[in-house]
Amino acid sequence: MGRKRKGNKVDGWLVIDKPLGMTSTQVVGKCRWVTKAQKIGHGGTLDPLASGILPIACGEATKTIPFIMDARKIYVFTVTFGESRSTDDAEGEIVATSDHRPGAADITEVLPEFIGCIQQTPPAYSAIKIDGKRAYDLARAGEDFEIKSRNVDIFDLKMLSLDGDQATLQVTCGKGTYVRSLARDLALRLNTVGYVSFLRRTAVGPFDLAKSISLEKLEELGHSAPPEDWILPVVTVLDDILALAVTEEQATLLSHGQALSVSGPIESGIVRAMAGERLVALCETDQNPDMTILRPVRVFNF
């Protein structure tokens, strides 16, 4: 027999409003301490100088982390013009200055250039790996290295306010986007320099601030209410994936990793097999003329 996993059987998503100054790993540790969950992880890192939505997966929800990592994200951020920082945020040293300050019309005019599939070079102080080493470790050691640019998706970008040398914007973006790089490049396009002085993530996929709780609230709920009262279901991140009803007999087959034949065509891709309200498996579809083969790629144990 296998060794019994320590901790509580807790399955679902916690949506934490991460405070400033904490690392994502520290937030995971706090959630692990409160929930005593057998398995726990986060769905996308937030820098210590950023606050906002940090999805935390417990138990079976950890199998759905890739779906939240790929989800759209919304950030509100402030660009401070006139200074360039080594880290592209307020933590770094000043490496360049400029007396030029763009006006509201200047900023609004160039924003469309940053919407769509754009090329972006991640900051030197980032978790990108260069020959197996993290870029921020190389940067701190003073080593010279090059980070290749890559394509990222910006779905929307708008200015919310301009106050002196600080512009506050909101961006909706895809996986892998660095807001620090966006702020840096926007400033350069406006013939000045700038860095992110404020960063808050307000949404990740289906999770927004309305669904979030603070760590203090989590600790309070952890002592006063059962987990089902404050943890969101695993399927919350799978709402846009086609649900297919299966019988208990079919669910048993899928749970044992066996493929299943169902009559009629089903759109190709990933579907979620549901036995009533219970998530059974995520399956790939294999089309045949008169039937569809479901092949389980993620099986859930509820």
Place of tokens 């940053």: 114
* Separation CA 1–CA 302 (nearest Å): 20
Residue 130 one-letter amino acid: I
* Separation CA 176–CA 158 (nearest Å): 19
Q: How far is CA 85 from CA 79, 88, 118, 289, in A?
A: 12, 5, 23, 60
Specify whether the CB–CB gap between 171 and 72 falls below 8 A. Answer: no
Torsions phi, psi of 49, nearest 5? -85, 5
Query: Residue 239 catalytic?
Result: no
Question: Buried b / exposed e across 208-246, counting CB within 10 Å, b at 16+?
Answer: eeebbeebeebeebbeeeebeebbbebbbbbeeeeebeb
Q: How far is CA 29 from CA 34, 65, 130, in A?
A: 9, 17, 28
Catalytic residue from among 11, 17, 47, 89: 47
Q: Which residues are part of the catalytic machinery?
A: 47
